[in-house]
Structure 1
Amino acid sequence: MTVKCALLIVICLCNIQLAGFAQFSDTVHYYANFSGTGNLNRTNTTGSTYLLNNSLTFQVSKKKFSINSMASHVYGENPTAKTNDDFLGILNLDILKGVQKFYYWALTSYEKSFSLKLDKRFQAGAGLGYTFVNTDNANLELSDGVMFETTDLSIPDAKGQTSYQTIRNSLRLKYRFIIKEKFRFDGINFYQPSFSDGNDYILKLRANFSIKLYKWLNFTTSFNYNRQNITSTENLFLSYGLSMEKFF
């Protein structure tokens, strides 16, 4: 076994993810999160197939506003080619979310994706959100708004263009449920159709299921699906590992 394969096995077994079951309390205003998950498959006939998923999150939570930032990178290879080299960075501001049901949000993001044939995408927009439930054990939110987007593609889209700008509707569903302080199911989903072309839409689905093993240690599985319909490209991957959290 090569050193590279050994390192990949160690990474996939460790799968460190700083996440957890706790919420912000009145005295907790900062949250830092680093995750490193993935999976590996190796045979003596076909070689190694692996996927590594790393992300870094930092949050500041106050009574009347919160700021959330996230950067993630997914890299994958199979025995014949690279499958993933995808980066996503998001900066999100929520106003009045902690004091009333309706709240305001603003978001900006940058993305590039080898698997989606996306050289770069920049989005910026704002809208309204509504919190249906927000307790220690359950959270359900729905938000909607308008996003401006500028995009450069690696391949021509259905209209033959590789660079364009558009205005999108951005619908988001976010949820979290905790059962007996041991099992957690959470996720965030985006549906972003263009106002000018109904066939030009972006779909992002992410769900996580965690089992608490100790106060700060959880076993976590994650599901991710992304589709860029204008180029008929999509990706789907599952990862698993351990999770840890830190509030301060």
Structure 2
Amino acid sequence: MKRIVALLVVLLFGCTAFAQFSDSTHYLVKYASTGSINRTNDGNSYLLNNNFGFKVSKKKITFNAGASYVYGKQNASLTNNDVSAAVDFNLYTDTAQIYYWGLANYDKSYSLKINNRFQGGLGIGYDLIRLPNAVLNITDGLLFENSNLFLHDTIQDIYSTVRNSFRVQYKWTIHNIIVLEGNNYFQNSLMHGDDFTIRCINSMSVKLRSWLSLTAAMTYNKLNRTDRENLLFNYGITFEKYF
């Protein structure tokens, strides 16, 4: 497991493909650093959110990899120490609107009481809209999950389950300057009706250069099994480079 986690962290968190390419290979490197600092007479808090991604794209297949790290404190008390790493691929069919996907993901989260969690699965996706400046698609599939959680802070809950994973993804570019994009997931266990997770990642970026943007991002996570949730809203900069 340690080798798998190390590989995922090195490969890092990537974005799902937003465009079909020619037979030549294209690459994308992306790094975003956002955060917030609040200091008053009554206390102080800060939050740092770092994401790094790498993508390889061809006409009929894309490969994405990357990682994110969130760290935060409030009045010297730890609030976030959250790591996520993932690899995934999309395989496009001759029918341009339909594709297949595969995913492997590792999480460790102080705020959500996840000691270790691994997910892996396969599914199908469908493009509702695919234009040069706008993409909207939905995906669905099955994930196998093996988790080590903390219930009531000290009680360990080690279990495995199979989840249905449903996602809505979008990206909209306005005048090549403003970019709105998001990934929103609902993953419910097929074995336990009260076991579900919600993850929403949405952002708005304003391009200053082709490779540099100001970014405001909102991330929401809910893990029903541990009865934990977090909401992160922060702002910062994004670097991205195609080659």
TM (norm. structure 1) is: 0.85
Change (3 A) 1:77 1:24: farther
1:42 deviation in Å? 1.1
Alignment size in residue pairs: 226
Confirm or deny: 8 A CA contact 1:54 1:73 kept in the other structure: yes
Confirm or deny: 8 A CA contact 1:219 1:242 kept in the other structure: yes
1:230 deviation in Å? 1.1
Matched to 1:211, the amino acid is V
Confirm or deny: 8 A CA contact 1:63 1:98 kept in the other structure: no
Matched, 1:39 2:36: yes
Higher gyration radius (CA): 1
Coordinate RMSD, CA, aligned = 2.2
1:32 deviation in Å? 1.1
The range that moved more, 25-34 or 177-186, is 25-34
Matched, 1:30 2:19: no
Matched, 1:88 2:81: no
Unaligned 5+ segments in structure 2 are 1-13
Unaligned 5+ segments in structure 1 are 1-17
Give the structure 1 partner of residue 108 of structure 2.
Answer: 112
1:30 deviation in Å? 0.8
1:25 deviation in Å? 5.0
Matched to 2:137, the amino acid is E
1:24 deviation in Å? 7.1
Confirm or deny: 8 A CA contact 2:213 2:237 kept in the other structure: yes
* Within-5 A mapping of 1:1-248: 26=22, 29-43=26-40, 45-96=41-92, 100-155=96-151, 162-248=157-243
In 2, distance between residues paired with 1:202 and 1:98? 33
1:243 deviation in Å? 2.3
Matched to 1:113, the amino acid is S
Change (3 A) 1:236 1:79: same
1:98 deviation in Å? 8.6
Confirm or deny: 8 A CA contact 1:59 1:67 kept in the other structure: yes
Q: Deviations over 1:211-246 (max 9, x none)?
A: 223333322100000000111100001111122320
In 2, distance between residues paired with 1:85 and 1:213? 31
TM (norm. structure 2) is: 0.86
SS at match of 2:242: coil
